[in-house]
Structure 1
């Protein structure tokens, strides 16, 4: 008689597969449009089919892969037009959120964001890409929730998830990671002084870098 694994062991199994595939996508080891073959992953990891499919579900939920008829699961990619359209929406939403920071932020918010940015910096410099990914998302969600319009924050979160494969493509670039670190701390300085226009300018530049990197890496041969 086969004894079922405890739920905690099942959870660890799919989570381990998810985190490894996430790391490979973020690090560029799995490229846009590359197919994730279920049987190969089962053989390589020793995980159950259920665990691999659960990992695929989570990767799809955060926007790193897509399922296509007759093609299975693939690392997500975008056309040039789709990239430009997504980032136009992001810029509109995030500029609007920035306009809410026209008064000095509370010390509690500044301290919270500083803590996240500091941990993000440490993870980036140690090339712990999964933590960079997670902490970057947390930083921006905390910032935009603090703008006060929760529907706006939800919309920003939605489009942030939609652009995950674009943003993470730049993670292996040390130069871009260092720029992002500096921009996070510059955002904190701006909200500390209640400089909404300055914050908007920083955010505009912040979201532009990964977009440009993705377009060059994906569509311009030999650019990187």
Structure 2
């Protein structure tokens, strides 16, 4: 083995994945934009295997999609697809909210507060990859605590399907602050056993990124 620095070695797939994830979330890679293996290999000094493994992870998270004869491209949606996805999400998430009719236990409240606090710190530091991960962790823990694991699995599935839509709002400071506030409001609602209040917060919380995406994509014409 040579004395070459590890930083001179081809990048591992997870490093390539994080770079592409950040670019998609920040809007540097736009919907329908192709992800070209050779270009990414040249830019990142990664192996073909690493780039393809990164593509697999982007596809798993719903950030990219493979198209016949077109390769891999950033995921995009029609207006009808967006409305249908969010109609399903609202139905599922409000069904979960309705199950919080009793005050949540101290352990769940503490765990959710910890995640919400770390999400807030990452958001204000503009560490979008952490925001993405912690936001998912917060909602998964919340919905699993509703007590219906099949329902929670369905929510997670449709949440993954809307990742590119949700993540486009991350660079917007006003929307990030609203999301932070709503996470803590959700915790207060379950702590008090206020299922109706929780449902109202969730409806607004999931709808705002959708509206942002639609206006930016189909009204203003650019993200």
- TM-score, scaled relative to structure 1: 0.94
1:21 Cα deviation (Å)? 0.3
Aligned-partner SS, 1:73: strand
Instruction: Provide, for residues 20-71 of structure 1, a one-character-per-residue CA deviation record: whole Å limited to 9, x for no partner.
Output: 1001101111111111110000000110000000000000000000000111
Question: Which residue of structure 2 aligns with residue 81 of structure 1?
Answer: 80
Question: Which residue of structure 2 aligns with residue 41 of structure 1?
Answer: 40
Instruction: Provide, for residues 112-131 of structure 1, a one-character-per-residue CA deviation record: whole Å limited to 9, x for no partner.
Output: 00000000000000000000
Question: Which residue of structure 2 aligns with residue 130 of structure 1?
Answer: 129
Q: 1:12 to 1:114 in 2, by over 3 A?
A: farther
Aligned-partner SS, 1:77: coil
1:222 Cα deviation (Å)? 5.8
Question: Which residue of structure 2 aligns with residue 70 of structure 1?
Answer: 69
Provide runs of 4+ in structure 1 moved above 4 Å.
Answer: none
1:203 Cα deviation (Å)? 0.1
Counterparts of 1:20-39 in structure 2 under 5 Å?
A: 20-39=19-38
State whether residues 62 and 162 of structure 2, in contact with CA within 8 Å, keep that contact through their aligned partners in structure 1.
Answer: yes
Q: Distance in 1 between matches of 2:217 and 2:107?
A: 41
Q: Does 1:99 align with 2:98?
A: yes
State whether residues 22 and 128 of structure 2, in contact with CA within 8 Å, keep that contact through their aligned partners in structure 1.
Answer: yes
Q: Distance in 2 between matches of 1:52 and 1:62?
A: 15
1:207 Cα deviation (Å)? 0.3
Q: CA RMSD in A?
A: 1.6
Counterparts of 1:41-60 in structure 2 under 5 Å?
A: 41-60=40-59
- TM-score, scaled relative to structure 2: 0.94
Instruction: Provide, for residues 171-196 of structure 1, a one-character-per-residue CA deviation record: whole Å limited to 9, x for no partner.
Output: 11000000000000000000000000
Question: Which residue of structure 2 aligns with residue 7 of structure 1?
Answer: none
Question: Which residue of structure 2 aligns with residue 210 of structure 1?
Answer: 209
Aligned-partner SS, 1:147: coil
Aligned-partner SS, 2:87: helix
State whether residues 112 and 142 of structure 2, in contact with CA within 8 Å, keep that contact through their aligned partners in structure 1.
Answer: yes
Structure 2, unpaired ranges of 5+ = 2-8
Q: Distance in 2 between matches of 1:11 and 1:104?
A: 51
State whether residues 18 and 129 of structure 2, in contact with CA within 8 Å, keep that contact through their aligned partners in structure 1.
Answer: yes
1:11 Cα deviation (Å)? 11
Q: Distance in 1 between matches of 2:10 and 2:78?
A: 35
Question: Which residue of structure 1 aligns with residue 120 of structure 2?
Answer: 121
State whether residues 10 and 46 of structure 2, in contact with CA within 8 Å, keep that contact through their aligned partners in structure 1.
Answer: no
